[in-house]
Amino acid sequence: MDCIFCKITKKEIPSSAVLENDSLIAVKDINPQAPVHILIIPKKHYSTLLECKDKGLFGDMLSMANEIAKKLGVEKKGFRVTVNTNNEGGQTVFHLHMHLLAGRPLSGIMG
Ligand code: 5GP
Ligand code: ZN
């Protein structure tokens, strides 16, 4: 399957992992919208949030977001996590992922 995030999770595209475990990899966004902009990407392919029924994975994604926020020292000032879903949700890469944004004041829904 020609999926850019599958290539990242399989290390076919070089990217430096901020954090990684058996089911997830976190990498810096190629086009950052804030000083900290990390993508938390499941190693298993789900095209959108709707396709994934794995509640454990949802928990793992949020748990990794907490871990990254602490690791990067943004937890006290604050951060935001989002999962854009389908076209009007702003999804452009159809492999489930969570954004973690921080490092500047984020106003409105997406800042
Ligand atoms: P979406 O709009 O689907 O929620 O987010 C997709 C994100 O993936 C965008 O923020 C975009 O900048 C990022 N992105 C697209 N291609 C690549 C890539 O090859 N590497 C990395 N690290 N990020 C990418
Ligand atoms: Zn994929």
Give me ligand 2 centre to Cα 4, in Å.
6
Does residue 86 form part of some domain? yes
Does residue 75 form part of some domain? yes
Does residue 45 form part of some domain? yes
Active site annotation includes 99: no
pTM over 0.85: yes
Closest ligand 1 atom to residue 91 Cα is 3
Does residue 21 form part of some domain? yes
CATH number where 63 lies: 3.30.428.10
The boundaries of the domain holding residue 46 are 4-102
Pocket of ligand 1 (CB under 6 A): 4, 15, 27-31, 39, 84, 90-93
Give me ligand 1 centre to Cα 76, in Å.
26
- Is the pLDDT at 111 greater than 70? The verdict is no
- Who's near 64: CB < 8 A, 6+ residues apart? 19, 21, 24, 26, 40
Report the domain count for the chain. 1
Does residue 111 form part of some domain? no
Question: What does pLDDT average to over the chain?
Answer: 95
